[in-house]
């Protein structure tokens, strides 16, 4: 998996089960090291995906994967302000508990 090349709005990935009945949308954030996850400057711009996948240490042999939902992160976003502009971040301590939670997504069968 390569790091994303830009921070575009919208869903990054749509997955279906093998028969096409179940569908999930996924927002992916990639990080090269242990650091906060940056989000949009306005939380209203966030597209509500079914899942958020944070891929950390993406340039390493074995990246770390954290799988959560935006509902689980409610109230955990850090709001920063600089020169009158807000920014939103998710600190590692708030996403690290979701490491390798593949069962959240389920199987494709």
Neighbouring C-alpha atoms within 13 Å toward the C-beta of 86: 11
**Full domain range(s) for residue 74:** 13-101
Report if residue 39 sits inside a domain.
Answer: yes
Give the model confidence (pLDDT) of 48-65 as tens digits: 789 999 999 999 999 999
**Edge-to-edge strands, sheet with 85-90:** 37-39, 85-90, 78-82
pLDDT at 1 over 60: no
Helix residue spans in the chain (DSSP H): 92-95
Report d(CA 73, CA 60) in Å as an integer. 26
pLDDT at 6 over 60: no
Provide the pLDDT confidence category of residue 74 given band limits of 50, 70 and 90. confident
Q: Angle at Cα 48 formed by Cα 38 and Cα 7, nearest 5°?
A: 35
Burial class of residue 33 in the structure, from the number of CB atoms within 10 Å of its CB (0-12 exposed, 13-18 middle, 19+ buried): exposed
Report if residue 1 sits inside a domain.
Answer: no
Secondary structure of residue 95 in the 3-state scheme: helix
Report if residue 8 sits inside a domain.
Answer: no
Strand partners, 78: 89
**pTM for the whole structure:** 0.84
Report if residue 56 sits inside a domain.
Answer: yes
Q: Which pair of structure tokens corresponds to residue 33?
A: 């090291």
Could you give the number of structural domains in the chain?
1
Report if residue 96 sits inside a domain.
Answer: yes
Report if residue 7 sits inside a domain.
Answer: no
């Amino acid at each position: 998996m390569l790091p994303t090349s830009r921070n575009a709005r919208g869903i990054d990935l749509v997955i279906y089960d093998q028969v096409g009945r179940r569908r999930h949308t996924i927002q992916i954030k990639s990080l090269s090291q242990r650091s906060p996850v940056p989000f949009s400057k306005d939380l209203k711009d966030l597209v509500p995906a079914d899942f958020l996948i944070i891929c950390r240490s993406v340039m390493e042999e074995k990246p770390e994967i954290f799988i959560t939902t935006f509902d689980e992160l409610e109230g955990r976003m850090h709001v920063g302000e600089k020169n009158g502009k807000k920014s939103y971040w998710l600190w590692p301590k708030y996403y690290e508990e979701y490491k390798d939670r593949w069962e959240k997504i389920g199987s494709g069968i």
